[in-house]
Structure 1
């Protein structure tokens, strides 16, 4: 018996395969492979464990911010404050650890308190964002733009524009000791956080509610979802992950830099949008965000290795964002959506 066919002549059996290859995250995987081939052909050092280790160290903080941005954008919002929150949290971590270390507090206690202080700082910014959006009814763009400026300014006030060092020497050891010549303990923790965030988004009620709020907030209210409470949780999560990104950079560098978060909000938004998360809300995949973050961070290493000025990274990322948004617009007009899963 002949197999049934669709209107375009493809068999129903082959349609799922076609749909798979048309998924944005699958296409991005192909783009990443082609990029690796290109940069390796231009400079073989790109395809080495040393280069991979450096790329992953750059990828980790961007990935934490991109996870936050994915959740936020799926709800139909945006968080422009993640970069300044990263910087403020990293500086807070550095200042607390320096103070405790100089006061003779034990290494373990110093590190634990410093990390907790950084995470609480991130959550405090997230709380302010959530209140501005859910209580003051400010648009997410305006609310997070305000906290972005305030956070960056406060970081400069606290540090006088200089790096904060003086923490326990164990910080550098923990942040830079490699396993298998690639992985560090903070990097492994980032992978664990990514796995948890992925499962929560794709397989829990919290994730389903996140998609529902972004798809149609009125309908979400109609089925009993507390939209304002959920948005508050989303922005608290964004602040928490931004604080974690600040901690990662502190452990990597051994100091808190007031400029460490500059431009990171663009990289995080780029990773999510390039990965297929719709700026219109309601759709996106964590798999796409992972690939988007890998692409945006690999570009910098690749450009440096082939002798191109790293400033071109921003140009490339800007072009990729424009292309990704253009694809989203076309898909919206043709009735295709990224979905989730």
Structure 2
């Protein structure tokens, strides 16, 4: 009979030459979670809501929440486009002017069609398409200035910012454009569940679509690749210039949609409705953690950044802060977010250099 030991009886031999990765402890997991950008932003949002509620209890009410969401929607639309642009390493300063111009052209088109006896449904549909087309046109101009004229994005979009604001004043004479179908106000302000309106629901669906596209689709991967290294992206076969035109066109289209949203909410096209909105959109993206150098950031951060920006402005109004100070606060938020980014990236570079 054989006395050879079975496999289970063989003595085990210590494994040499292999490294077993240490499992992170609970404290390390918790630290990593609390260090995430979106978790930090969520904490900041909660603290802000608590602060403004203490200062004015009306802030924590369904009515105030509904107003914050209504103000959040156009900022979010602009911030989505701004996110894509910044991820490519660019910037779009024209979105505020595009919003105002789109709202005005939408109002002018609806007023003209209604005065000519066009059916209400056709009037609203054509007016909406005119507003969207206006924003798209501004975005295409930006894209061609950046890719064909080889202008820096800052200069190109600064030029269209001024041109858009000027065209808005020329078209309106500096006054609001009213006189469209009353059904527009009904559609724009009928609430569901106390806080939602049809335009707001559409904005949330648009947000979900572009969130998925950025995270899952080739369009999003190409956007990140161009912002990380446009030379390498071109070498990998990505049509960089064509993609940049699409990105700026997307930003303009969403600005046009934001202009239509504001028109449907107010029932009139205002030449000043887009003033300063580009600052709010950039603030949402930067506060959300997007690197202005491109190639880094998440749309989830932009969403929280837009909520923070909108919540701050609404809170300042409720506690009686003068409107002139509101843009100062937004500017401080942008500066603080950029400073934190620089500290974060500096620490990351040091850790890489040390090993």
- Residues 1:46 and 2:59 aligned together: yes
Structure 2 residue corresponding to 1:295, chosen from 292, 308, 319: 308
Unaligned runs of 5+ in 1: 337-341
Deviation at 1:222, TM superposition (A): 1.3
Deviations 1:93-122 (A, max 9, x none): 000000000101011100100000111111
Deviates most, 11-20 or 256-265: 11-20
Equivalent residue number for residue 309 of structure 1: 322
What residue is the counterpart of 2:137 in the other structure?
124
2:182 is matched with which residue? 169
- 1:23 to partner: Cα distance: 1.6
Asked if 1:91 is matched to 2:99, the reply is no
Measured in 2, the distance between the counterparts of 1:13 and 1:239 equals 46
Deviations 1:126-185 (A, max 9, x none): 111000000000000000000000000001001110110111000000001111111100
Displacement of 1:12 in angstroms is: 5.4
TM-score when normalising by structure 1: 0.94
Q: Which residue of 1 aligns with 2:231?
A: 218
Partner of 2:331: 318
Report if the CA contact (8 A) 1:32-1:295 is conserved.
yes
CA contact (8 A) 1:4 1:12 kept: no
Write the mapping of 1:189-338 to structure 2, written as runs, cut at 5 A: 189-335=202-348
Structure 2 distance, partners of 1:119, 1:209, is: 25
Would the aligned equivalents of 1:62 and 1:293 in 2 still touch at CA under 8 Å?
A: yes
* Structure 2 residue 127 is the aligned partner of structure 1 residue 114: yes
Q: Larger C-alpha radius of gyration, 1 or 2?
A: 2
What displacement does 1:14 show? 5.0
Equivalent residue of 2:290, what SS? Answer: coil
Contact 1:87 1:260 in 2 (8 A): yes
Counterpart-to-counterpart distance in 2, 1:268 and 1:86: 12
1:20 CA drift (Å)? 2.5
Q: 1:203: how far off?
A: 1.0
Deviation at 1:314, TM superposition (A): 1.3
The Cα offsets for residues 72-92 of structure 1, whole Å up to 9 and x where unpaired, read as 001000000000000000000
Q: State the SS of the aligned residue for 2:175.
A: coil
**Which whole-Å deviations, capped at 9, do the CAs of 1:14-41 have from their partners, x for residues lacking one?**
5444222212121010000001111111
The separation in 2 between residues aligned to 1:49 and 1:311, in whole angstroms, is 27
Cα pair distance change 1:209/1:17, threshold 3 Å: farther
Report whether the alignment pairs 1:62 with 2:75: yes
Please give the per-residue CA displacement for 1:243-279, whole angstroms capped at 9, x wherever unaligned.
0000000000000001110000000000000000110
Deviation at residue 308 of structure 1 after TM alignment: 2.1
How many angstroms apart in 2 are the aligned matches of 1:247 and 1:282? 30
Residue in 1 that maps onto 2:8 = none
Deviation at 1:197, TM superposition (A): 0.8
2:148 aligned residue: 135
Counterpart CA distance in 1 for 2:219 and 2:320 is 45
